[in-house]
Amino acid sequence: MRLISHPILCNYYLTYRCNAACSFCDIWEKPSPYITLEQAEQNFKALKKLGVKVIDFTGGEPLLHRDLAAILKLAKSMGFITTVTSNGMLYPKRAEELKGLIDMLHFSLDAADAATHDEMRKAPCFDFVMQSIEIAKSLGEKPDILFTAFGENIDQLEKVYQNITLPNDLLLIINPSFEYNQVETGGGLNAAQFKTLTQWGRKPMVYLNEAFIKLRVDGGNQLEDPICKAASTTLVISPENKLVLPCYHLGTKSFDINNNLYELYHSEEVQQLVALEGKLPACQGCTINCYMQPSFAVEMNRYWWSALPSTIKYNRIKGTWKQLF
C-alpha cells in the first residue's frame, strides 16, 4: 500500500568536484560546474510545491561550494530539512558560517586510525574529521559519524564506536557499501558480515537501517516486484541544473530545468521514466542505499516494517521528526 505519492527528498548535487579520490566512488572523476544561488532559489520553490521535505546537499564535496552557507540559509528559510555529508577537510574553516544551517551533519569516517582511513579516501581526511568533531561540538552542533562498511573494514567498527563516537556522544551511522556501474566497492559483503552489521545496528547510539540488510539477503531489487521508488520519491538535480532520471547512478536521461522544475517533473516524458523506476534492466539486483531509504518510507510492505525500528530510533535521538510537522 502506497502511503506517500509525491517526492519527499531531493538529492541536490552542488558539484561533482571533490578534494578526495575515494576508490569506491567515481563522482570526483567527472568535470563539473557549481550550482548557482539563483538556480537553487528557483528550484527550491518548485521542490516546495512538489512536496519535498528534505534536501540532501551532496557532491563531490559540498563544502567546496563557496555559496554553501547562503544556499543552506535559503533552504532553511523555506522550511526544508537540510543534510550535508563531508569528508571534514574544509569544515574547520567553514564551521562558523555553517552553524545552525545543517539539520543532519555527517562526517565520513571509515576507520579508527589515520593511516587506514586516509588510504581508503586517498586524502588526509582523518585528522580533519577529529578536528571537525571538536569544532562542531563547541558550536553546539551534534554531527553524526557516517561509516561506510566494506568487508575489509568491519573490524574497525568497534574502535570507531568505543574510541570516537561514544566518548563524543555522537551517533554512528552504518552505511553498507553497495555496487554500482563499474566501480569497485571493496569486494562486497557476505552473509556473516550482514549478520554482524545487524547486531551492530542494535547497539545504543548506532543507526543501521535493517531494511538495507533484508534487501541484500533477498537479492536486491527485483524487476517483477520492484521495491525501488527512486524516481517518484527522490528528485536528483545535477550541477548543470538538470533533472536526472530515474536516479543519479543509473542516469538514463537528463532534462534541462530552465526554471521550470515543477512543470518538467509532471511532463509526460518525465512521468514515463518515473513509471519505469525499479523496472529497467539495470535495476535488477540494485541495492543503492540513498534511493532505497526513501523507497522503504513511502510504501507499507515488508521493507517498511523492517526499516521502522531504526527509523524511530534515529528520529528519537536526533529529533528530526519534529521538523516534519
Distance in angstroms (rounded) separating the CA atoms of residues 153 and 174 = 12
Contact between 126 and 133 (Cβ < 8 Å): no
266, 232 in Cβ contact below 8 A?
Answer: no
Beta strands 81-86; 54-58: pairing state = parallel
Instruction: Give the Cα separation of 138 and 145 in Å (integer).
Output: 16
Structural domains of the chain sorted by starting position, each given as residue range(s) with its CATH number in brackets: 9-324 (3.20.20.70)
Rounded to an integer, what distance in angstroms lies between the CA atom of residue 163 and that of residue 178? 26
What does the block give as the cell for 103? 539539520
What is the separation, in whole angstroms, between the first and last Cα of the chain?
23
pLDDT tens, position by position, 203-256: 999 999 999 999 999 999 999 999 999 999 999 999 999 999 988 887 779 999
Q: Which amino acid is at 88?
A: G
Establish how many alpha carbons lie within 13 A of residue 314's alpha carbon, considering only the half-sphere containing its beta carbon.
Answer: 20
Asked if residues 91 and 137 have their Cβ atoms less than 8 Å apart, the reply is: no
What are the 10-residue block averages of pLDDT along the chain, 325 residues in total?
93 91 70 92 98 95 97 98 96 98 97 93 93 98 95 94 97 85 55 94 96 93 94 96 90 90 97 94 90 92 94 86 52
DSSP at 75: H
- Coil vs helix vs strand at 56: strand
Kind of pairing between the strands at 171-176 and 253-256: unpaired
Burial of 316 (0-12, 13-18, 19+ CB in 10 A): exposed
Instruction: State the pTM of this model.
Output: 0.93
Looking at residue 250, its pLDDT comes to: 79
